[in-house]
Amino acid sequence: MGVLLPFYSDTTSSLSQQQISQAALDYYAGLRIAAEDLNKWNVSINLRVWDLQKMSDSALILLPKSAEFQSLDIFFGPITQKPVDLISTNLQQTDFLWVSPLTNLKLPKIVQNVNFFGHDSLRIKGLVNQLKLSYPEHTFCLIVDKKNQSLVKYYKKELKKAKIAYTEHFVSGNKVSPRITTKTESLILLNVGTSSFSRLAQFSNVSRKVDSYIVGDFNWFDDLSAAEEIDETKIIYPSMNFISGLDSSALRFTETFIKTERAEPSKFGFQAYDQLTFLGGLFATNGRLDLNDLPNARYNGLINTFELKRSHPRTFVNQGIRLIRNEKIELAPVEEDETTK
């Protein structure tokens, strides 16, 4: 297995490059932990690592001609398109799986390849499909921020493909217009481009209904602030990356990561572990690494949900989404300072 990521940085590197390098190192640490676990399943993983930061264009052109590269069964990376193109035009063996682990890259179609993080349109497709499965009889309302409509067309396209009827409403401050007048007890308010604060304006529409929910924008879970007026059990947060603090496997991974890396794992470590464990499990089950053998099912990892769909005969993309519902967030009472009494 080969890994090509931008690892190197020093004190003269820009802050963004240092952050990218740290993410790459965390990702690689997650791969190593997954490889150790897979060895227990009698799936032997030999890691071959190249540092993209230390490779010139000419070195990237020569890479696919090397004996190390030509012996690969799976290749992870890189994270930008230019090195992909340099390697692609010089491929000499195509019997391996090429993985874009962290970004949506155009990988060569002459090899089997998978994008674990695709375009936003794929996430939206996964979200709409999951909502249809979970809430097939609900009435849908699309809640839109007029100032942030870049993704609305994708939501409308997928709702139409899923044959989900909906009404469109706009949120501004503490108002939703036109007003939501339906009296159904089964209501889904699907948010597009809105902020998490807008759930205050929407909450009255679902608060007294038995089976009604607000489905947040993808950014809500990362920018969540508690509100006393909100019953969190009525809010659904779609997320690509979610770690349950109660998951024993996630806790075990965290302990192992801290022991080996002397640091808490970032999401990139979890992502690497999930991806390699997923692919290794496929190999252990079928004796080969062919995504055509995947069952039509969802796989829940430590942080990611994988639901791979074919977009080309040899290209697969992930559209897995998690729908998260929290318990009601209780705000701690503010204790009065004795000196102010």
Give the domain CATH number at 188: 3.40.50
Residue 191's SS3 state is strand
In this predicted structure, what is the pLDDT of residue 226? 65
Indicate the DSSP class of residue 240. S
In this predicted structure, what is the pLDDT of residue 327? 62
Please tell me the distance from the alpha carbon of residue 26 to that of residue 194, in angstroms, as a whole number: 32
Torsion (CA) 88, 299, 269, 114 in degrees, nearest 10:
10
Does a structural domain hold residue 158? yes
CB 113 within 8 A of CB 316: yes
In this predicted structure, what is the pLDDT of residue 329? 47
* Whether residues 232 and 259 fall in one domain: no
* Whether residues 252 and 201 fall in one domain: no
In this predicted structure, what is the pLDDT of residue 223? 67
* Whether residues 233 and 252 fall in one domain: no
In this predicted structure, what is the pLDDT of residue 151? 92
In this predicted structure, what is the pLDDT of residue 341? 44
* Whether residues 103 and 131 fall in one domain: no
At residue 198, what is the residue type?
S
What's the N-to-C CA distance of the chain in angstroms? 67
Residues 6+ apart with CB under 8 A from 284: 38, 41, 42, 43
- In this structure, are strands 315-318 and 308-312 parallel, antiparallel, or unpaired? antiparallel
Please tell me the distance from the alpha carbon of residue 44 to that of residue 316, in angstroms, as a whole number: 24
> pLDDT tens across 27-63, in order?
999 999 999 999 988 898 999 999 999 999 999 999 9
Residues 6+ apart with CB under 8 A from 88: 107, 108
* Whether residues 211 and 293 fall in one domain: no
* Whether residues 175 and 267 fall in one domain: no
- Please identify, among 192, 217, 239, the residue that sits at the C-terminal boundary of a domain: 239
* Whether residues 125 and 234 fall in one domain: yes
Angle in degrees, CA 25, 22, 26, rounded to 5: 40
* Whether residues 270 and 287 fall in one domain: yes
CB count in 10 Å sphere of residue 269:
29
Residue with tokens 């998260």: 324
CB 272 within 8 A of CB 28: yes
* Whether residues 124 and 192 fall in one domain: yes
CB count in 10 Å sphere of residue 202:
24
What is the total count of domains within the chain?
Answer: 2
Beta strands in 158-270 (DSSP E): 166-172, 175-177, 187-192, 213-215, 235-239
Length of the chain: 341
Residue with tokens 């740290």: 22
* Whether residues 221 and 253 fall in one domain: no
Please tell me the distance from the alpha carbon of residue 181 to that of residue 178, in angstroms, as a whole number: 9
Range of the domain at 8: 2-117+248-319
| Encoded tokens for 82 | 């230019």
In this predicted structure, what is the pLDDT of residue 38? 94
Peptide bond into 295 cis (omega under 30): no
Count the alpha carbons within 13 Å of 22 in the hemisphere toward its beta carbon: 14
Does a structural domain hold residue 304? yes
In this predicted structure, what is the pLDDT of residue 295? 79
| Encoded tokens for 152 | 């609305």
Query: What stretches in the chain show pLDDT beneath 50?
Result: 329-334, 336-337, 339-341
* Whether residues 72 and 97 fall in one domain: yes
DSSP H helical segments within the chain, as ranges?
15-39, 57-62, 67-70, 81-88, 120-134, 152-161, 199-202, 248-261, 267-286
In this predicted structure, what is the pLDDT of residue 340? 42
pTM of the prediction?
A: 0.85
Helix, strand counts (H, E) of the chain: 9, 16
